[in-house]
């Protein structure tokens, strides 16, 4: 009886080549597994294609709701943005995919998991750290690090020699990754940072701000303890909220990012990311936190957000530090409940008002009119104490300047 390997299968060129390659080089029984985190029609026909290419079995694991609830929302609540721009769309999907691959491998009694990530990319790190954390006994096979194939042309030749259909669309060679949260684009003119992206050809989820409507769109989002729960007073599941906001945001040119980023393996790469719904949710969540979090918590949380984003980006989801940061973030969200209204206009998100039963904004304190809670004279003593180090420093400087 042959040993089994579970392949993270997308039906693209790489994984189409990997099925026969595994059978030829390892004599494994290949089980193809696709984890659906919102790829849409990309999963259509994959079972037939994988079996036809040589897989013995195919799994399609539906994970849209789990993806948003357990991976997107924790990242959103942390306000985690990698290098100030990237909303971590690909990064947050990888630990979930790794988890599901491990579950299938354990169910099938497989000895290994195989992925099609390249030796230059981030995904090899993310997949393998997840597998090591959840099932250290499993072997990991990464063909791009060991086979003789060097290019897409080599892959196409490999398939043609074996009479296997080549799964590539002519005239569209961007490398894309799609899930419910975002769509990423790499390759072609994007490999030259001096060139402007060809947005008319590139974009799938969004229109450019120039092509967005000439009138604003208003949207109101309800949050409960940091989690989005309703749009325009209509309760929705996590996945439905993201889908709805993707449509609204895309129509208004929201969430198009062009980024040169630092990969985990040390090199810089350039990508264009479409995250229309996610960009809206980040903006709304941040507005509510401004209303509900105290100064010290808000300040420290911004520091945590940077580390949180770095851990997610580098695939360190299943680590003690990440678990601890998630616990901190969850604790800060106990009062992040309320409504946020936003105005969307040609790629811009403009605050249009927020309310919360836990709002720390006190009109009596903030108003220019003197209220009962604030005595202007108290400020004098505060400033004297707050400025004491400055005064002492100035006196020392003055005394020494006379020597």
CATH topology of domain 4-66+89-161: Rossmann fold (3.40.50)
| Predicted confidence (pLDDT) per residue in 208-260, tens digit | 999 999 999 999 999 999 999 999 999 999 999 999 999 999 999 999 999 99
Q: Is the fold of 4-66+89-161 the same as that of 182-293+336-355?
A: no
Can 175 be counted among the known catalytic residues?
yes
Out of 50, 79, 94, 270, which one is annotated catalytic? 94
**Catalytic residue of the set 79, 123, 177, 222:** 123
Task: Quote the pLDDT of residue 167.
Answer: 86
Higher pLDDT, 180 or 375: 180
Condensed to tens digits (0 to 9), the pLDDT of residues 113-166 reads 999 999 999 999 999 999 999 999 999 999 999 999 999 899 999 999 999 999
Q: With contact defined as beta carbons under 8 Å apart, do 197 and 203 qualify?
A: no
Examine the residue annotation and report whether 152 is marked as an active-site residue of this protein.
no
- Output the pLDDT for position 152: 86
Is 363 a residue whose pLDDT tops 90?
no
DSSP character at residue 72: I
pLDDT reported for residue 372? 75
Residue 362 confidence class, pLDDT cut points 50, 70, 90: confident
- Alpha carbon distance 257, 393 (integer Å): 46
The catalytic residue among 56, 70, 152, 175 is 175
Q: Of all helices (H) and strands (E), which one includes residue 308?
A: helix 295-313
Alpha-carbon gap, residue 8 to 22, rounded angstroms:
13
Provide the phi-psi class of 52: left if phi over 0, else alpha when psi is between -120 and 50, else beta: alpha
Whether the pLDDT of residue 169 is over 60: the answer is no
Give the range among 135-149, 178-192, 207-221, 364-378 with minimum mean pLDDT: 364-378
Residue 171 has pLDDT above 90, yes or no: no
Parse the chain into domains and list their residue ranges: 4-66+89-161, 182-293+336-355
Verify whether residue 237 is a known catalytic residue.
no
Q: Among 72, 73, 87, 137, which Cα is nearest to 109's?
A: 137
CATH 3.90.1260.10 fits 182-293+336-355, yes or no: yes
Assess whether 176 carries a catalytic annotation.
Answer: no
């Amino acid at each position: 009886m042959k040993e089994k390997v579970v392949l993270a299968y997308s039906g693209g060129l790489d994984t189409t080549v990997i099925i026969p390659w595994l059978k030829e080089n390892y004599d494994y029984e290949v089980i193809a597994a696709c984890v659906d985190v919102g790829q849409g029609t990309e999963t259509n026909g994959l079972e037939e294609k994988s079996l036809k290419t040589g897989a013995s079995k195919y799994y399609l694991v539906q994970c849209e709701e789990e993806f948003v609830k357990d991976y997107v929302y924790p990242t959103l609540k942390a306000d985690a943005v990698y290098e100030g721009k990237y909303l971590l769309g690909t990064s947050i999907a990888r630990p979930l995919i790794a988890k599901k691959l491990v579950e299938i491998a354990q169910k099938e009694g497989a000895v290994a998991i195989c992925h099609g990530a390249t030796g230059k990319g981030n995904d090899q790190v993310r997949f393998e750290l997840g597998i090591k954390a959840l099932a250290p006994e499993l072997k990991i096979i990464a063909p791009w690090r060991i086979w003789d194939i060097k290019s897409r042309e080599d892959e196409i030749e490999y398939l043609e020699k074996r009479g296997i259909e080549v799964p590539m669309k002519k005239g569209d060679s961007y490398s894309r990754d799609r899930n419910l949260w975002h769509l990423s684009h790499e390759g072609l003119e994007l490999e030259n940072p001096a060139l402007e992206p060809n947005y008319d050809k590139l974009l799938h989820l969004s229109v450019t701000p120039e092509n967005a409507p000439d009138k604003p769109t208003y949207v109101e989002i309800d949050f409960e303890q940091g989690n989005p729960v309703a749009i325009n007073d209509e309760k929705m599941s996590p996945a439905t909220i993201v889908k709805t906001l993707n449509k609204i945001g895309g129509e208004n040119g929201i969430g198009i990012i062009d980024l040169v980023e630092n990969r985990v393996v040390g090199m810089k790469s350039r990508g264009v990311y479409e995250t229309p719904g996610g960009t809206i949710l980040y903006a709304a969540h941040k507005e509510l936190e401004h209303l509900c979090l105290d100064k010290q918590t808000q300040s420290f949380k911004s520091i945590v957000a940077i580390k949180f984003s770095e851990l997610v980006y580098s695939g360190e989801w299943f680590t003690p530090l990440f678990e601890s940061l998630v616990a901190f973030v969850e604790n800060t969200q106990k009062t992040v409940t309320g409504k946020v209204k936003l105005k969307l206009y040609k790629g811009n998100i403009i605050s249009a008002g927020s309310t919360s039963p836990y709002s720390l904004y006190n009109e009596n304190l903030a108003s220019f009119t003197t209220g009962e809670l604030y005595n202007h004279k108290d400020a004098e003593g505060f400033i004297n104490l707050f400025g004491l180090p400055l005064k002492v420093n100035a006196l020392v400087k003055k005394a020494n300047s006379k020597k």
